[in-house]
Amino acid sequence: MIIPEQLLEKYNSPVPRYTSYPPANYFDTVTENQYIDAVKESNSGNPRNISLYLHIPFCKKLCYYCGCNTSPLGTQAEMKKYVVALKQEIRMVAALIDKGRKVSQIHYGGGTPNALPVEWIAELNELIYSLFTLVDHPEIAIECNPAHLDFNYIDQLKKSGFNRFSLGIQDFDNEVLKTVNRDPSAMPVGDIIQRLKAGSDNVTVNLDFIYGLPGQTVESFLDSIRQAAAIRPDRLVTFSYAHVPWVKKAQKILDKKGLPDTELKMKMFSESHEYLMANGYQSIGLDHYVLESDELYQAVITKSLHRNFQGYCTRQTTGQVYAFGVSAISQLEKGYAQNTKSVKGYIESIGQGHLPIEKGYMLTKNEIIVREVINQLMCNKQINWKELSDHLNISESVIRDAIVYDDAELKQFEEDGILQLTKEGLEMTEGGALFIRNVAASFDPLTRNNSKQFSKPV
Ligand SMILES: C[S@@+](CC[C@H](N)C(=O)[O-])C[C@H]1O[C@@H](n2cnc3c(N)ncnc32)[C@H](O)[C@@H]1O
Ligand code: SF4
């Protein structure tokens, strides 16, 4: 895949990542009472399924590139207080949710969930199992930093029900990791995968990589991807390093170490993309890759891929997301609500019997339509207006009125080889997929004419 320089120059401007619609930096005031009402209303909303997200913010060391919501590791007593508050928050929200609804996904993210003793994680799962009914084959997922994983920890996680594991590798080159203040995996990653999968045929393992870090070259990054493909994880992500030093101050350190320029980043992406595609992986969305046997690939074929803040999922498993812990964002049919980012403030608020909602966004009817259009494009790299109108039960013209529909702009994308206009709608081209966020932004009434800051596509 070769992307002409003119296209990079024209389209590599800041645009939202669209992990949600509207993007999180549009969040405004949402009160605890509004959230409680939204949770009650969500019982009659869609989807019926419940997804639960638990945020564990603690990290033993801060990686300089990190864009996530993290906190330094506290003492065991401080972290215990956090887990006690987390359990209380789960009980408070569970009491508002209709008992007839079932949990299809549980996701522990961070920070570093495996910075906690594994018994604490197992206890959190036990609490969830006691408060909710689960579907037959729920996804129970956890993000782990392999620097702090051992076989006992893995075995205990599996015993507690986990069947989806995401390991942050970022790069196999220890010099690159040193530059970004990150420890390498404690054990060979192939051995970890083998242990995670031992004795079970429904375990899925994902590996995260980041391109665009100081010290990486096209060849060195490709070498990491070759090593990754050789150990056959079910899923693999190549994230473009999102440089937002105005939000994440530690990233300024990387400015000084020398970041690869856009052209190099582009080559890292395209060469690793080509390698993975030639070695048995299928691409999902923009930067995710899966083996053909993976259910996400089947969802691509049937155009039923979905996503939430936690990543891609299928239409069957997707639920409205009820999120717990600092900075966690609930994603309900009608809106979003985000908890405070302060560990201290969170524990205090829960201790006083209040849900620690800090901000969020309640969508208008039109914005719910825009969200559907953008999700469809971001997940399935195409839009079929008729199918969307059937799915939303509204006419195509109501959809076009809700979004910004600019024929001339779409034709320009087509002339630039980014997408193809079809009888039914549009399809991204293979090379154009890199600029899918630009196409999504062109439909977005909120993002046009605004001054908010976003990262660049590449
Ligand atoms: C919560 S972290 C992963 C879990 C665990 N703490 C770890 O580091 O292995 C989720 C993923 O976000 C990605 N990530 C973090 N900061 C990023 C950034 N600035 N740009 C792109 N990807 C980033 C990393 O690949 C990371 O594995
Ligand atoms: S990448 Fe993972 S371990 Fe590193 S700071 Fe971010 S959340 Fe923590």
The ligand that comes nearest to the alpha carbon of residue 109 is 1
Q: What is the DSSP string of 188-232?
A: -HHHHHHHHHTT-SS-EEEEEEEES-TT--HHHHHHHHHHHHHT-
**pTM of the predicted model as reported, rounded to 2 decimal places:** 0.91
Q: Give me the residue label for tokens 């729920």.
A: 138
Of the pLDDT bands very low, low, confident and very high (cuts 50, 70, 90), residue 162 is: very high
Please report, as a single letter, which amino acid is at residue 4.
P
CATH number for the domain whose boundaries are 23-324: 3.80.30.20
Average pLDDT rounded to a whole number, residues 25-54: 94
- Decide if 425 contacts 439 (C-beta within 8 A): no
Question: What is the C-alpha separation between 269 and 410, in angstroms, rounded?
Answer: 25
Q: Strands 102-110, 133-144: parallel, antiparallel or unpaired by DSSP?
A: parallel
**At the topology level of CATH, where does 1-21+365-451 sit?**
Arc Repressor Mutant, subunit A (1.10.10)
Query: Which tokens hold the place of 456?
Result: 């660049």
- Decide if 357 contacts 338 (C-beta within 8 A): yes
The ligand that comes nearest to the alpha carbon of residue 58 is 2
Least confident interval from 11-20, 56-65, 116-125, 243-252: 11-20
Ligand 1 pocket test, candidate residues 60, 66, 145, 209, most atoms within 8 A of CB:
66
Domain with CATH 1.10.10.920 in the chain: 1-21+365-451
Nearest-atom number in ligand 2 for the CA of 182 is 4
Provide the CA 288 distance to its chain's centre, in angstroms: 11
The fraction of the chain above a pLDDT of 70, given in percent, is 97
For 183-241, write each residue's pLDDT tens digit. 999 999 999 999 999 999 899 999 999 999 999 999 999 999 999 999 999 999 999 99
Give residues (CB < 6 A) around ligand 2: 59, 62-63, 66, 68, 70, 110-112, 145, 168
pLDDT for res 457: 61
Atom 4, ligand 2: residue with shortest CA distance: 63
Ligand 1 pocket test, candidate residues 55, 59, 64, 68, most atoms within 8 A of CB:
68
Check residue 168 and report its DSSP letter. Answer: E
What's the gap in Å between 396 CA and the centre of ligand 1? 38
pLDDT for res 309: 79
**Residue among 454, 16, 150, 107 nearest 311 (CA):** 107
Average pLDDT rounded to a whole number, residues 376-380: 90
What's the gap in Å between 168 CA and the centre of ligand 1? 6
Residue 331: count of CB within 10 angstroms of its CB:
21
| Interacting residues of 217 by C-beta distance below 8 A, sequence separation 6+ | 260, 264
What's the gap in Å between 186 CA and the centre of ligand 1? 18
Domain with CATH 3.80.30.20 in the chain: 23-324
pLDDT for res 316: 73
What's the gap in Å between 38 CA and the centre of ligand 2? 31
What's the gap in Å between 183 CA and the centre of ligand 1? 13
What's the gap in Å between 168 CA and the centre of ligand 2? 8
DSSP 3-state assignment of 418?
A: coil
Decide: residue 216, CB within 10 A, 0-12 exposed, 13-18 middle, 19+ buried. Answer: buried
Check residue 28 and report its DSSP letter. Answer: B
- C-alpha distances in angstroms, 300 versus 139, 314, 436? 18, 9, 16
Give residues (CB < 6 A) around ligand 1: 65-68, 109-110, 112, 143, 145, 168, 170, 208, 210, 239, 241-242
Nearest-atom number in ligand 2 for the CA of 66 is 6
Q: What is the DSSP string of 300-348?
A: HHTT-EEEETTEEEETTT--EEEEESTT-EEE-SSEEEEE-S-HHHHHH
Average pLDDT rounded to a whole number, residues 67-74: 90
